[in-house]
């Protein structure tokens, strides 16, 4: 079995990250225990199943599906870096956060939480389309339906570990196929059209990463089914771009209300003012605000 040790960066808490992944939802793309997460991922065109845990100094990655070639270890290491956002020094964010009168507690209560990414940008876009305008519980249910029907899986100890369906598979579906899984007609259309674009190579993560934040948003919004909310969600959650703010997000607005940072949900000035206090860390602020919405730790 291949094992990878990745030194923990400063201001990193594996438990906090794990807790965020879990929250109270039913995510079909990983399995979580008290101290580990197990997930199927794509490395160099090959699906492998990994379990991530920690020891005193390291993040410990075990590949359950057999030995990895040396060059794939690098790809795996990069995947973990992306997933847990390990390459970022978040100390400047903590300085800003600690200094804030009503948000400072987060630097202590959520200490070491990283912005948990969705490295596969196709998956990230599909997920944000699925999540548009429906409650999260139902959104996770829809995701499970499409993953279990069209994704691939590897069985380890009798448990199926799924990967998100590939564009090539979804590109061949009809709208009726997804409607049968309780997708609305529009969402079915958006996702199939998107899959065709990815399959044709007309859009890719590599291409998006080369653009400025503004151009990323512009490119994404030009696609059918992606509005300003979704585009910024993708910047924040998949492109490691900290300028992503999912404007108008109901969860974000609720968190701002909870902290008495806005008077009402159209208080754009107050919102702009808050984010202006966190230059370069907007997406982290959103992530921490989302974290504050979840059930408090016992």
Partner DNA sequence: GGCCAGGACTCAA
Partner DNA sequence: TTGAGTCATGGC
Whole-number Å distance between alpha carbons of 293 and 249: 13
**254 binds DNA, rule: CB under 7 A:** yes
**237 binds DNA, rule: CB under 7 A:** yes
Compute the least distance from the CB of residue 75 to DNA, in Å. 25
Nearer of residues 48 and 126 to DNA, judged by Cβ:
126
Whole-number Å distance between alpha carbons of 226 and 69: 38
Of 33-41, 66-74, 227-235, 270-278, the window that binds DNA (rule: CB under 7 A) is: 227-235
**122 binds DNA, rule: CB under 7 A:** no
Residue for token digits 């080369």? 210
Of 39-47, 101-109, 210-218, 246-254, the window that binds DNA (rule: CB under 7 A) is: 246-254
Pairing outcome for strands 31-32 and 2-7? unpaired
User: Of these, 133, 210, 264, 298, which contacts DNA (CB under 7 A)?
Assistant: 133
Q: Containing H/E element for 254? A: helix 250-258
- Nearest residue to 283 via CA among 48, 42, 85: 85
Compute the least distance from the CB of residue 39 to DNA, in Å. 17
**255 in helix, strand or coil?**
helix
**244 binds DNA, rule: CB under 7 A:** no
Whole-number Å distance between alpha carbons of 61 and 80: 9
**182 binds DNA, rule: CB under 7 A:** yes
* Token pair listed for 131: 């999540």
Residues 6+ apart with CB under 8 A from 176: 188
Nearer of residues 98 and 174 to DNA, judged by Cβ:
174
User: Of these, 224, 269, 277, 280, which contacts DNA (CB under 7 A)?
Assistant: 224
Nearer of residues 25 and 98 to DNA, judged by Cβ:
25
* Token pair listed for 47: 């699906």
User: Of these, 18, 208, 231, 285, which contacts DNA (CB under 7 A)?
Assistant: 231
**225 binds DNA, rule: CB under 7 A:** yes
User: Of these, 122, 162, 198, 233, which contacts DNA (CB under 7 A)?
Assistant: 233
Nearer of residues 9 and 225 to DNA, judged by Cβ:
225
- Choosing from 81, 85, 241, 249, the catalytic residue is 249
Binding track, positions 134-173, relative to DNA; x by CB under 7 A: xxxxxx-x--------------------------------
Active site residue 189: no
Whole-number Å distance between alpha carbons of 60 and 220: 35
What are the CA-CA distances from residue 175 to residues 24, 147, 203, 221, 230 (Å)?
A: 31, 16, 21, 22, 21
Compute the least distance from the CB of residue 270 to DNA, in Å. 17
**298 binds DNA, rule: CB under 7 A:** no
**290 binds DNA, rule: CB under 7 A:** yes
Helix (H), strand (E), coil (C) string for 41-98: EEECCEEEEEEEEECCCEEEEEECCCCCCHHHHHHHHHHHHHHHCCCCCCHHHHHHHH
The count of residues interacting with DNA (CB under 7 A) is: 35
Rg (CA), the chain: 19
**CA angle at 83 for the pair 79 and 86, rounded to the nearest 5°:** 90
Q: Active-site positions? A: 249
In the complex, the residues that contact DNA under the rule CB under 7 A are 128, 131-139, 141, 179, 182, 184-186, 221, 223-231, 233, 237, 246, 248-251, 254, 290
């Amino acid at each position: 079995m291949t094992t990878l040790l990745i030194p923990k960066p400063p201001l990193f808490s594996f438990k906090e990250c794990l807790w965020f992944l879990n929250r109270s939802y039913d995510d079909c793309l990983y399995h979580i225990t008290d101290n580990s997460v197990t997930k199927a991922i794509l490395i160099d065109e090959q699906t492998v199943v990994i379990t991530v845990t920690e020891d005193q100094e390291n993040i410990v990655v075990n590949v359950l599906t057999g030995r990895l070639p040396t060059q794939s270890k690098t790809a795996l290491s990069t995947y973990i870096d992306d997933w847990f956002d390990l390459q970022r020094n978040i100390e400047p964010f903590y300085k800003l956060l600690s200094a804030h009168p009503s948000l400072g507690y987060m630097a202590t209560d959520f200490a070491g939480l990283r912005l948990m990414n969705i490295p596969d940008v196709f998956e990230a876009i599909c997920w944000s389309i699925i999540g548009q305008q429906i409650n999260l519980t139902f959104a996770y249910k829809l995701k499970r339906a499409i993953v279990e029907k069209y994704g691939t899986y590897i069985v380890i100890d009798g448990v199926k570990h799924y990967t998100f369906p590939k564009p090539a598979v979804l590109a061949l579906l009809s709208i009726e196929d997804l409607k049968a899984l309780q997708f609305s007609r529009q969402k079915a259309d958006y996702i199939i059209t998107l899959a065709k674009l990815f399959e044709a190579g007309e859009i890719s993560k590599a291409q998006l990463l080369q653009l400025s934040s503004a151009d990323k948003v512009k490119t994404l919004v030009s696609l059918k089914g992606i509005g300003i909310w979704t585009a910024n969600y993708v910047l924040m959650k998949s492109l490691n771009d900290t300028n992503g703010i999912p404007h108008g997000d109901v969860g974000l607005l609720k968190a701002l209300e909870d902290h008495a940072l806005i008077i009402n949900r159209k208080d754009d000035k107050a919102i702009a003012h808050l984010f202006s206090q966190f230059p370069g860390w907007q997406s982290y602020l959103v992530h921490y605000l989302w974290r504050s919405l979840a059930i408090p730790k016992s």
